[in-house]
Amino acid sequence: MTLLKSIKLDIAKKLEDKEYRTVFFEEWARDEVADQIRRLRKLRGLRQIDVAKATGMKQSVVSRIEQSEHSRWNFATLMRLAEALDARVHVTFETAEEVIEKYESEQRKMLPGSSATALRMAELENEQAFKNHYKMSKSPLSTPLTNEAPQILPLERLSYIRQDLEQRQ
């Protein structure tokens, strides 16, 4: 079992604790917003200073938002950023039960006693999904910004990205 899968297996159980869940959800939302803003800015070919000027913010504020360190943004801030990036803000609420069920579903796929073949097939599917997502993310206009979990990239994924980047140079 990979480190990523073992981490995912523990999350469902941890999310049952209300305090842990509150912190997890807040950090997740902040990271998700930061990632989407950063990806969209790059897609538009803009620098942080360009977004800062268009929104009336300081470049350092845009940088902190993109690094998810800035926790004081509000809906109006997101609307200013969306306007500068020519995008819309889309907010989705999920119940804690829905989120926990997603992680439990992942856990059920990896239950002990599964055959080695089934586990390897799941790993291969995961790798193929990663490669497909990576290829599609090179043209983000055709791929919506998703609400997927942030992933820890195993070495094989990092080498796949490195090889691709070297081929493009």
**Exposed, middle or buried, 32 (CB in 10 Å: 0-12/13-18/19+)?**
middle
Choice among 25-39, 88-102, 121-135 with the minimum mean pLDDT? 121-135
pLDDT for 61-113, tens place per residue?
999 999 887 767 899 999 999 999 999 999 999 999 999 988 888 777 765 55
Looking at the structure of the chain, the number of domains it has is 1
Instruction: Please list, in sequence order, all residues whose beta carbon lies within 8 angstroms of the beta carbon of residue 137, skipping any fewer than 6 positions away.
Output: 143
- Write out the residue range of the structural domain in which residue 118 sits: 3-168
What CATH number is attached to the domain comprising 36? 1.10.260.40
Q: What is the CA radius of gyration of the chain?
A: 18
- Alpha-carbon gap, residue 41 to 60, rounded angstroms: 15
Question: Strand, helix or coil at 168?
Answer: helix
